[in-house]
Structure 1
Amino acid sequence: MINGFLMKKLLVLSLLFACLTGEAANKADSVVMTVAGKQVLLDEFVFMARKNGEVNLSDRKSLENYVELYKNFKLKVAAAEAEGLDKTKEFTDELEGYRAQLTSSYLSDKEGEDAAVRAEYDRLGEVLELSHILFRLPEKTVSKDTVAVYERAMKAYERIKNGEDIAAVGQELTRQDSTKQTGYEYARCLLPMQTIKAFENQAYAMKPGELSMPVRTTLGFHIIKLHSRKPNPGMRHVAHILIPFQKDSVTRSDSETLALAEEVYQKVQNGADFGELAEENSSDGASARKGGELPWFGVGEMVEPFEKAAFALNTPGELSKPVKTRFGYHIIKLIGKSGIPSFEEKKKSWSRLMAQGERNFEYYKAFDERMKKEYGYVFYPEAYDELVALCNDYFPTDKEFYEKAKDMNKTLIHLVDTDFPQSEFAYYIQRCPFSTKTYAGDFMQEVFDLFVRDIVTTSERKNLITKHPEFTHLMQEYRDGILLFNISNRQVWSKPAAEQPELEKAWLKELNKEYPVTINWKLLKKLKK
């Protein structure tokens, strides 16, 4: 992600740190055993014993039992290595996959990430009803390009503020715009994580009846009118029978369709099985095969008449009278109801969404801020403002932007004991132009935040083992664990269960003869003190 010159600067600093701390660590380590020519150091042995949870190192018998267990474990690993199981592609891929996963767990702030998701989840308790007019901006917009569009948005804002209806104004402007850069939309139900972050933030900050000034997003300028904020009624689980207006090549009138639906409704009322009637009569094939059952749904997920009828049902088993939608007439049966999904239910899917795109800055903010503090971040706003000034005329990915910025060498930030000039950030923009924003200033800000994150993350990766010694032990444990599983499966576990105890015993006896083992009991006995 970052250029070679920057990598070299960070690598020198990281190696210096590693040498100073690594030398001290090696002096402190002692060998507790040697198995098949490989040393097991005290810190690894103690780490694994404590992780086991059932080992009491101060108790002689417990210590002796664990030494025997750990020795046998290492013997089996040695046997796996002798058979080349640590050289296979499957082994390498699995180990590297775990390394990436483990590394990622250190390059994050789980509490901060949960807090970011929680902030979104706290909005889930309310459903917003709103209208908005969008005045689109070009895909790559510099500051001067926004003026005319903003002025059009402000004229519409003033009209609505002075009493005109937002729907009337929006629809009129949409009709008049032959370029199709203006649009009006009424949103019956808006929930968090359903729209652009800036739009959502503005909408959830408003009071019913309030009109916003033009709000800039990646699409353009929006004027938002909030009509209502209502409690989220939760989720519903229903079955339905759909009597369509059209079946095969036959088109029925509204009255004919309603009559057929009322006939089916009466059959259910008279005791006929709802599921069987759904299979026989419903044109919704996917649900008909399941007795009419639909997945759980919340507000805004079904057409409005269907949703209103479903949420009006209160008792499981309760039926709606035939409900008309554009598809036909529905008979709805309530199966179950619940409140909004719990935080734990939403956390996994929302975390995945927030870790990508524009919301990643909220999601990783706690980690970014902690790393900036640890690595001595200093920001020079005047140097940054000079780059912002270029955004008045050029988009940051334009060749002209780079041609002007590449010779700007004022210090932009100080980080990891290093000064980073404006020109280095300009080079980074060309190499890593990753942003969802279409406005030049917003685009540059996102790439700048990524630039800083890239520097601290690179440093943190280099210092990972020295800052977190347990990382090495966890990698060793997982590596040896894969080998143990594979060799044990080959030698014992794939055999008949009745034979396994004797096979295990004979195998261990053979391994103890084949591979030399020395135990440093003098050192181990000190653990009991």
Structure 2
Amino acid sequence: MKYAFSLMVALLVALAPVQSQSAPDLEGDPVLFTVNGKPVHVSEFLYIYSKTNAGKADFSEESLREYLDLYIKFKLKVEAAREMGLDTLASLREELAGYRRQLADSYLIDKEVMDKLVRELYERKKQDVDISHILVSVPRDAAPEDTLRAWQRIMQAKAELEAGADFAEVAKKYSNDRSVERNHGHIGYVTVPFPNGYYNLETAAYSAPIGKVVGPIRTDAGYHLLVVHGRRPARGEMEVAHILIRKDSSLAEKKAWSIYQELQRGASFEELARKYSEDQRTAPNGGYIGFFGINRFEQSFEDAAFALEHDGDISEPTETSIGYHIIKRISHRGLGPLEVER
């Protein structure tokens, strides 16, 4: 068996992105190595590498070296067994099967990990979590001294909380979250999945005891302290339409109640939305908003919408910062079976 390792790895890195699933062109398909005069082409190795790694095939030099070394060992074992007439022995067949399993291990492990994460996500989707947090920002690639400084700052915040300080005051003092002046660290109810890079925070939110300060928790944003205030069955998504009367005059609330009374007498919601609603985007479509989940709109709007129990139910005028909304429930979408949610 012969091969030029460094040269071949470099060649693999160069050729990998342009390999196709069509029949290989052997003139443009270099020999990667030979075993007893039998060539193993680049296309063969790339096929097994891509197949076993699936979406994780990054064609990095480290990954290619690891798989090339393993594949060479496998090929040598097979050829040696054939020469000695031992390839039918059960013990050797088991050893060769072991190499095949190794070649497939990363794919199988990745699949197992993915299945576990999907199931974990599904279970977490069954609940919404009410949280507060304090964030001290520091990128993952920050200089060591900056990381240490951030760690010390978050630990100072935790020490103050453990000494009995008010969470909102500590959040305003230490947190780099841009919303802290408005919410004092209280995010409210959230659901999965959290943004990329926040998996550790998500895990803490769904596992931490109620009312206890936990952390520091490292994410891509920095270090967090977290308090879970409560958990509830997930609200899912509500499909709604609305009629909006903006707070442009002192008569806005009165006008909203007048429209509500018309609806109670049997008037068409869609016709009144087109006639009266001051939401220029939705009014032409009968007030239709579509589906929405938690934390998309103001809390009063969300609570009023999710309080509607049956399709077709209509809320009383609900006040938000921009006006008065009359909300119609069209449908509700909860969590489906695992196989559907996949």
TM-score band, normalised by shorter chain: 0.5 to 0.7
Give the match for residue 128 of structure 1.
129
User: Counterparts of 1:225-244 in structure 2 under 5 Å?
Assistant: 225-244=227-246
Deviation at 1:146, TM superposition (A): 2.5
Contact 2:218 2:224 in 1 (8 A): yes
Contact 2:153 2:174 in 1 (8 A): no
- C-alpha distance in structure 1 between counterparts of 2:113 and 2:288, whole Å: 39
* SS, match of residue 285 in structure 1: coil
* 1:7–1:226 CA distance, 2 compared to 1 (3 A): closer
Contact 1:234 1:341 in 2 (8 A): no
- C-alpha distance in structure 2 between counterparts of 1:9 and 1:161, whole Å: 48
1:307 aligns with 2:309: no
Deviation at 1:19, TM superposition (A): 7.6
Deviations 1:311-353 (A, max 9, x none): 1111222211111112211001122234334434432xxxxxx
* 1:330–1:209 CA distance, 2 compared to 1 (3 A): same
Kindly indicate which of the two structures has a greater share of residues assigned to helix. Answer: 1
Deviation at 1:227, TM superposition (A): 1.1
Give the match for residue 188 of structure 2.
188
Q: For CA contacts below 8 A with separation 6 or more, give which structure has more relative contact order.
A: 1
Contact 1:236 1:297 in 2 (8 A): yes
Kindly indicate which of the two structures has a greater share of residues assigned to strand. Answer: 2
Give the match for residue 204 of structure 2.
202
Deviation at 1:16, TM superposition (A): 6.5
Gaps (5+ residues) in structure 1? 25-103, 246-251, 348-529
Give the match for residue 61 of structure 2.
3
- C-alpha distance in structure 1 between counterparts of 2:341 and 2:66, whole Å: 42
* 1:345–1:243 CA distance, 2 compared to 1 (3 A): farther
Name the amino acid aligned to 1:243: I
Q: Alignment partner for residue 268 of structure 2, among 256, 273, 276? A: 273
Q: Alignment partner for residue 71 of structure 2, among 9, 14, 17? A: 14
Gaps (5+ residues) in structure 2? 1-58, 83-103
Name the amino acid aligned to 1:188: G
Give the match for residue 297 of structure 1.
292
Deviation at 1:275, TM superposition (A): 0.5
Deviation at 1:118, TM superposition (A): 0.9
Deviations 1:101-156 (A, max 9, x none): xxx9x945545422221111101111111111111125622444332322221121
Deviation at 1:307, TM superposition (A): 0.6
Deviations 1:282-309 (A, max 9, x none): 2333432332222222222322111110
- C-alpha distance in structure 2 between counterparts of 1:8 and 1:313, whole Å: 60
Contact 1:213 1:223 in 2 (8 A): yes
- C-alpha distance in structure 1 between counterparts of 2:65 and 2:232, whole Å: 56
- C-alpha distance in structure 1 between counterparts of 2:153 and 2:241, whole Å: 48
Give the match for residue 224 of structure 1.
226
Larger Rg over CA atoms = 1
Deviation at 1:188, TM superposition (A): 1.1
- C-alpha distance in structure 2 between counterparts of 1:20 and 1:185, whole Å: 61
1:283 aligns with 2:341: no
Deviations 1:373-411 (A, max 9, x none): xxxxxxxxxxxxxxxxxxxxxxxxxxxxxxxxxxxxxxx
RMSD: 3.0
Q: Alignment partner for residue 329 of structure 1, among 307, 310, 324? A: 324
Give the match for residue 157 of structure 1.
158
- C-alpha distance in structure 2 between counterparts of 1:341 and 1:238, whole Å: 20
* 1:142–1:260 CA distance, 2 compared to 1 (3 A): same
Q: How many residue pairs end up in the alignment?
A: 254
- C-alpha distance in structure 1 between counterparts of 2:64 and 2:329, whole Å: 61
Contact 1:235 1:340 in 2 (8 A): no
Deviation at 1:211, TM superposition (A): 0.6
